[in-house]
Every structure is written in C-alpha cells, then in structure tokens.
Structure 1
Amino acid sequence: MSRITRHGSHASLAKKDFVVHLLRIENPLVRGTIAEFFSAFVFIFFVLSTQASTLFSGRRGDMLLNAVNNGIAVSIAMFVSGGVTGAFLNPAVTLAWAVIGKLRWTCCIFYSIAQFVGAFAAAAVIYVLYYDALQSFDGGHRELFGSNGTAGLYGTYPADHQTFLSSIINELVGSGILLIAVLSVSDRRNWRPDNGLFPLVNGLIIVALNLAFYGNGGVAMNPARDLSPRLFSYFSGWGEETFSLWNYQWFWIPFAMPYAGAIIGALMYEVLIEFHWSPELSHGNHNESGPPRPDEGALIQEESVTAIQPIHAFGSPVIIKDQGTQIIKSF
C-alpha cells in the first residue's frame, strides 16, 4: 500500500513539474509585465472596493478608513510582485525611475501599460461585484455628484473649493513628496528599513499622504489609479461628464501631474541628498543580505555610484552587490 502511495506521489510531482515547466515564462520582461499587471490589479481592487463599501454602507468620505485601506492595499500589492519586479504599481514612479537612470526604458513602457490595464480590469471586477448594490443605490441613473452621485467610486474629483491652479499644485506637491519619501527610505546610505518591512513602510507613506491631502479632496499620485477606472466609468454608464468636468480641464490633472511631480521629487532627492553621500560612507541601518534577486532584463549596472533601492507603493527597484559592482534593478 505504501509503495502504491509513494508511486502515486511521485507521479503527481512529475505531473506538477511538467505543468510548471510548460507554463514557466523565461523572458524577464514578460514576467515583470505580468507581475505588474497582477499587483496593480490587486492594489486597485482594494482601493475601489473600499470606496464602494464606504459609499453603500453610509460611510461616504470616511477619511481615516480610506487612508488606512489605501496604505494596506499598497503593502499587499507590493508583497504580491515584490520578488519579481519590486512592485511599482504606479506609472509615475515607473517613469521617474527611468528618468533618473535606474530603470530600462523598455521595462518602463511595458510595466506602465500593464499597470493601466490591471487597474482597468480591477474597475471592471468591482462593477460586477457591486452591481446590485449600485442599482439599489441610484436606481440605474448614473450621476457624478449629489446624494446619488457615484462616479467617485472610480475616478478622483476636485473638492468644491478647489481651483484649476490649486488642483495642479496639489498633484505636483503630493507626487513629489511621495518620491522623496520613497527614495529616502530605500537609500542604503540612509536609515533604510529591513527588506521585509519595505511594503509596510511604503504603506505608511501612502496613509500619511492620503491624510495630509484629504482637505483638498485627496491626491491621486497614480495615473493608473485615476485614468483606467475613469475610462471604465465612461463606458459603463456615467458618460462624457467623467471627462468634461471643468470644460475638459480636470481629467488630465490627476493623469499628467503625477508624472511631473514624481520626476521633480526624484530629481530633488538626487540633487539635495543622494549626490552628497561620501563614496566611502558605510551602509547604515539596513539588511546586508539584500532583497530577492530581480530579473536580469531590467538591470542597470553602475560603478558604486548610487545605493538607492526604490520601494514604493508604486515601485521598488532592488540593489544587489555582485563582484564589487552595484547592480541596480529598477522596475
């Protein structure tokens, strides 16, 4: 009997190995793109589902609940794909890493596309999941604002007191501070947390930023979080007003300004902090073992010029020492 059992176990393992071999993707760019899609999907799913839950349970606009959930969503999503790409989740962070030379442009393009698609897929799943609740809430009449307004489930919209200029500044400052915070906690020459704490620290950054900007209606910081769900809401009943607000001057602010703010923030950290580290400065409070080795396809090698390991709710490259050369992987 035991011999039969052992034979069956070996057969099952052989079948599993065959399936794994059959499905395994060897191309690092493809692996990374799939990972970014999946982690972006998980991130946006949690963000939008909480928006729906607070609305349909009578807790619309619960500041603390939404802020904490957004931070947790980022942490979970980073754990999903952190070992593959570092978990960027955010096209603005992805672009900023490419601009400062820590991410290959090919990876930047494919990862960003995957993030937008993952966010759109999450919006579609939330629509199906909460369709009955939505129908009960607004009777099938989709409105942006008012007591029955539900478009905020998907896109971000300005507070009543906000102006065009203040909205631009809001996104620029929010995204810039995000990058400064992320770079500071991921710099090996700074007080970097241990590897396993990266997603949690990154989540706390998001909680803090959500609370800090709540008075201005929040801050997007992530183009995929806003544009993809907004597109879905346009096609699923909310119509043209999702884009025509402020005579078509609003929708591009949470889409374009995070890119500009992220680049400015990344450059500020480099110019004001990173460039001034002594080359001989020993690494500070960090785990010397380093994070999981990233896919080779995104690696950029440098001669010990920098020691940044991005981690972000939306992105996190990895640094590994390899025979005296700093290998920096950005995702």
Structure 2
Amino acid sequence: MKDFVESVELGVSQREGVNITQPKVWIKNELVRVGLAESLCTYVMMVFGLGSVAQVVTGEGAFGQYLSINLGFALGVAMGVHIGGKISGAHMNAAVSFTMCTFGRLAWKMFPVYVFSQLLGSFLAAGTIYAVYYEAIHDYCGGNLTVTGVKATAGIFATYPAPYLSLLGGFIDQVFGTAMLLLCLMALSDQKNKPAAVGGEPVAVGLLVLLIGISLGSNSGYAINPTRDIAPRVFTAIAGWGADVFRSGNGWWWVPLVAPPIGGVLGAGLYKALVEMHHQPLSEQGRGVMQESEEESTPLEKQKTICADVCV
C-alpha cells in the first residue's frame, strides 16, 4: 500500500513538473535517536503515573483511589510504547534493558544510553509533576514536606515499603514482581507462540502493568523499575524532602534499585527455559500447518460435492 501511494504521488508530481525531495533526517546518529525516544517515552509514562498518584494523595480520595494509580501507570506505559516503540523499543525500565542485554537482544554498549535516558525522563517527569501540583502538595501537607506520617508526600514520587514489610520481604516482592513482568513480556514478543497482535502491543503491555499493580502492588508500590524509582527519589531529596528519602524504610532505597534486574533475568530465563527453547523448528511447524490445512480442506471438498449434487 505504501509503495502504491508513493508511486501515485510520483506520477502526479511528474505530470505537474514538481521535483520530489526526500525529507531531511535531522539526527542520523543512532545513539542520539534512541536516547531521545527513550527519554521522551519514559517522561510521558512517568508524568501520567506520578500525576495519578499526586491526584489521589492531594485529593484525599476525592479524585480517585488506588485503582486510579494502577490505571495511570498502565495507560502511561501504553502511551510510552506508542511514542518510542519503533525507535528504542520503549523499555522505560532499566530492568528490561538489563534483561535484554543479558539475553543478547540488546548490545551492552547501548545499556548506558538506555539507563541515562530513562533516568533523565523520570527526573524531568518528577520535576514536572511537582511544579504542576506544587500548590496542591503544599496545601495538603501545610508546607511540611515529609517522607512518613499521615500527611507524607514523598510517596507521590518514589516507592516506600508498607510498615509491616521487612527488607528481605521487600526484596523478594520486587524480584518476583519484576520476574512476572519480564516473563510475560517475553511471551508477548514471542513470534513462535501467541504474541500480542500487531499494533496492539501498547495495550497488551499496559494491561500487563495494570495486572501487576492490582495483584502485586500493595507491599511496596510495585516499582519493578530501578530508573523509575531512583530518579524521582533524588529529585525529592533536592526539592525539600531531604535525606529522609534514603533513610526511610530502614534504607529501602536500594531495594528497587537492585532487586528488579535480578527478577527480570530470572523471569525471562524461566520463560526461555520452559517455553521458548522448546519451540518446534519452522520446517516442522510448516508441516503441521499443511496437515491442518489438508484436514480442514477435506470436509470442504465433500461439501462442494454434496452441494453440486443437490444443485443438479
């Protein structure tokens, strides 16, 4: 279809004597193009995600509940995939990038580019939401920016464990949540299995994030993403919440930084070991498809014969 449209445009322009010039590619460097796309899609995802948290917290339940936050992040992820999916793959998560490098789906030289871009997008998103909700946040907490307590607001930007959660429990929580994320992402992209429908990948990934949020999110806010957590945490430390953002939760800050990459590799490795490595060769799959076609066509031929006899 694309070639047809281009040929028609070429024919029309030739008849009208118009010279066709190819559009200029402003940035040809792959690292820069990938970095810009990854930064933008991460920024968009985080703006919608953090914005949904800010609205719920400062509105004290009047403008949404916990499900609103799940939907905000899920739809934010979907929009992020639309924005950067064809350029950078829209990882928006250092655990995803680390896992892709581990399994040879992304060159290790690209890993720093992805991590830096994700950190930049997340940091800028935190700053944006703080600016947009500045008056609401200060009205809610009375100008006292705290990490813990009834009017705590640091949780708008980064994740913190529930009071009952130990560091070990939180570490397991983050490993398992990220493992489920990467296991399912591997399945959604497996072209020899049941991948997401072409064009429907953003919705499928968004639904996956929503599913994790509504099933595995209460312990620690399901960060499952190092760059999503550490960049806004650093922003809050600078913006007025101070060093408590690193001390709170018995020094919780390192858990969402270390556990997700481990979980990502475990989840993707589990899918690869139990499913992906056991796919039939393409030749055998082709024979199976041909046999199914022959079986389906046999009754069809019989129906044609019967129809002909009845018509006669």
TM-score normalised by the shorter chain: which range applies? 0.7 to 0.9
Distance, in Å, in 2 between the alignment partners of 1:282 and 1:69 is 40
Describe the superposition over 1:136-179 as per-residue Cα deviations: whole angstroms up to 9, x where unpaired.
Answer: 11222111122211010111000111111110100000000110
Q: Are 1:174 and 2:149 matched, yes or no?
A: no
Moved more, 64-73 or 209-218: 209-218
**Structure 2 letter corresponding to 1:251:** W
Distance, in Å, in 2 between the alignment partners of 1:204 and 1:29 is 30
Q: Are 1:154 and 2:166 matched, yes or no?
A: no
Contact 1:183 1:269 in 2 (8 A): yes
The offset of 1:56, in angstroms, is 1.5
Identify the residue that residue 280 of structure 2 maps to in structure 1: 278
The offset of 1:204, in angstroms, is 0.5
Q: Are 1:214 and 2:217 matched, yes or no?
A: yes
Distance, in Å, in 2 between the alignment partners of 1:39 and 1:282 is 37
Contact 1:154 1:229 in 2 (8 A): yes
1:296-311 aligned at under 5 Å gives the runs none
Residue-pair matches, total:
266
Aligned with residue 265 of structure 1, among 258, 264, 267: 267
Distance, in Å, in 2 between the alignment partners of 1:247 and 1:108 is 30
User: What 5-or-longer segments of structure 1 have no aligned partner?
Assistant: 1-12, 284-331
Distance, in Å, in 1 between the alignment partners of 2:120 and 2:194 is 35
Identify the residue that residue 245 of structure 2 maps to in structure 1: 242
Identify the residue that residue 94 of structure 1 maps to in structure 2: 97
Contact 1:91 1:224 in 2 (8 A): yes
Aligned with residue 40 of structure 2, among 38, 41, 46: 38
For the residue of structure 2 that corresponds to 1:187, the secondary structure is: coil
Identify the residue that residue 291 of structure 1 maps to in structure 2: none
**Structure 1 letter corresponding to 2:34:** G
Identify the residue that residue 121 of structure 1 maps to in structure 2: 124
Q: Are 1:68 and 2:71 matched, yes or no?
A: yes
The offset of 1:132, in angstroms, is 1.1
Distance, in Å, in 2 between the alignment partners of 1:214 and 1:183 is 21
The offset of 1:282, in angstroms, is 3.8
Distance, in Å, in 2 between the alignment partners of 1:111 and 1:259 is 14
Pairwise CA RMSD of aligned residues? 2.0
**Structure 1 letter corresponding to 2:58:** F
**Structure 2 letter corresponding to 1:96:** T
**Structure 2 letter corresponding to 1:231:** V
**Structure 1 letter corresponding to 2:227:** A
Distance, in Å, in 2 between the alignment partners of 1:203 and 1:247 is 32
For the residue of structure 1 that corresponds to 2:218, the secondary structure is: helix
The offset of 1:103, in angstroms, is 0.5
Higher share of residues assigned helix:
2
The offset of 1:194, in angstroms, is 1.7
Identify the residue that residue 8 of structure 2 maps to in structure 1: none
Contact 1:63 1:214 in 2 (8 A): no
Describe the superposition over 1:122-143 as per-residue Cα deviations: whole angstroms up to 9, x where unpaired.
Answer: 1111111111111211222111
Identify the residue that residue 48 of structure 1 maps to in structure 2: 50
- Report the TM-score, using the length of structure 2 for normalisation: 0.81
Higher share of residues assigned strand:
1
The offset of 1:217, in angstroms, is 3.4
Identify the residue that residue 138 of structure 2 maps to in structure 1: 135
Identify the residue that residue 224 of structure 1 maps to in structure 2: 227
> Percent identity, aligned pairs only?
31
Distance, in Å, in 2 between the alignment partners of 1:52 and 1:71 is 16
Distance, in Å, in 2 between the alignment partners of 1:224 and 1:196 is 27
Describe the superposition over 1:162-216 as per-residue Cα deviations: whole angstroms up to 9, x where unpaired.
Answer: 1111101000000001100111111001111222100100000000000111332
- Report the TM-score, using the length of structure 1 for normalisation: 0.77
Contact 2:147 2:248 in 1 (8 A): no
Contact 1:171 1:221 in 2 (8 A): yes
Aligned with residue 83 of structure 1, among 83, 86, 90: 86
Moved more, 225-234 or 187-196: 187-196
